[in-house]
Amino acid sequence: MHPPELNPPVAPPQGDAPGCVADWLSWAAGALREVSDSARLDAEVLLCELLDCNRAGLVVWAEQSLSAAVALRYAASIERRRLGEPVAYLTGRREFWSLDLLVSPAVLIPRPDTEFLVEWALQQLSDCSAPQIADLGTGSGAIALALASEKPAARIVATDFSAEALDQARYNAERLGLKQLEFRRGDWLVPLAGERFDLIASNPPYIAEGDPHLAALRFEPRRALTAGADGLEALRRIVDEAPACLKPGGGLLLEHGAAQGDLVRGLMRERGYAQVETRRDLNGLERCTIGLWGLDP
C-alpha cells in the first residue's frame, strides 16, 4: 500500500474545505444512498481501486487529502455508479470462489449464487480425480476457473457463443495460471460434438424477455440474461442436447431461476435423465438441478 496522492487537495463537491479521504467517502456514500443497498461499501471499493489500496488503507489515510486528479476520477466513477453502473464494471474485477476475475461489459458479472453450483459440482466429482468437465456459457470463466482451481487434474472445456466473453475467460485463465482449460466458441452443445464428459455444468440465461427485473440489469449483456419469452429456451436446448456428450452416469448440472426448479426437473425427467434432484440455496430457493444420463430413470 502507498499513501494517496496528496496535492493539490480538492473539496468534495458540497464542501468548502479541501476534502480528506473520510470526507470524500461520506460524500460518496450519501450520493449513492438512494441507488445502492451497499452505498458505503461501493464508495470504499471505488476509492480503493483508484488509490490502489485495500479498505484498511482508507482508515489509515482517512485524514489525507485527495489530489485533484484522483478526486476528479472519483467523482466521475461515483456519478457512473449513481446512474446504475455495477461496481464490478467500474473496477473491472469481481471475486468469485476467492479468485480475482477481470470482468468487462461483455460478460455477466459472476454472482455468489453460482458458487453454490460450483460446490455441488465438486461434490458430484469427489470420486473422480481427473474428470472431463464442460462449462457451457462460461462468460468470465467463473465456473470453469473455479473448478480448475480445485481439480488440477481435470480437463475442462469452456464454451460460449460470444467471442468477447471467451477472450475474457481465456485472459482470466492465463492471469490465474490455470492451464488445463480449453476455450471453444459455439452454440450450446455444438462445440462438444463427438466428446463425452463426466459433468456438464452451466449457468445459462434464464430470464424471460420482458421481465421487469431486466431494467436493473441493463449494463450486462442481454444475451447472457434472457432466453426467449418464457426464459426456458436455453435450459430446454441444453437438457435436450447434453445426453450426446455425457458419459454413462455423467451429470448435467444447471443453475436456473428460483421459480424454475419444477420445470427443469420436468424437462430432465421427460428427456430420460435419472436421479433428478434440485437443491435449495442458503436462502431456501431452488437454484440448481442435476440429472444423470445413461442410468435407469
Ligand X SMILES: C[S@@+](CC[C@H](N)C(=O)[O-])C[C@H]1O[C@@H](n2cnc3c(N)ncnc32)[C@H](O)[C@@H]1O
Q: Where on the chain is the footprint of ligand X (CB under 6 A)?
A: 107-108, 110, 114, 136-140, 142-143, 159-162, 165, 187-188, 203-205, 223-224
Closer residue to ligand X (CB): 121 or 142: 142
Rg (CA), the chain: 22
Cβ at position 239, least distance to ligand X in Å: 14
The rounded Cα 74 to chain-centroid distance in angstroms is 25
Cβ at position 188, least distance to ligand X in Å: 5
Closer residue to ligand X (CB): 27 or 188: 188
Cβ at position 240, least distance to ligand X in Å: 13
Q: Give backbone dihedrals phi and psi of 137, rounded to 5 degrees, phi first.
A: 75, 60
**Cα–Cα distance for residue pair 23/159, rounded to 1 Å:** 46
Cβ at position 263, least distance to ligand X in Å: 17
Nearest to 145 by CA among 164, 165, 170, 109: 170
How many Cα atoms are found within 13 Å in the side-chain-facing hemisphere of 69? 6
Cβ at position 74, least distance to ligand X in Å: 28
Closer residue to ligand X (CB): 36 or 162: 162
Residue type, 164: E
**Which residues make Cβ contacts (< 8 Å) with residue 174, sequence separation at least 6?**
none
Residue type, 70: V
Cβ at position 278, least distance to ligand X in Å: 18
Taking the CA atoms of 18, 20, 26 and 29 in sequence, report the sign of the dihedral they define: positive
Closer residue to ligand X (CB): 114 or 172: 114
Torsion angle, alpha carbons of 118, 281, 88, 29, to 10: -150
Closer residue to ligand X (CB): 65 or 162: 162
Closer residue to ligand X (CB): 138 or 278: 138
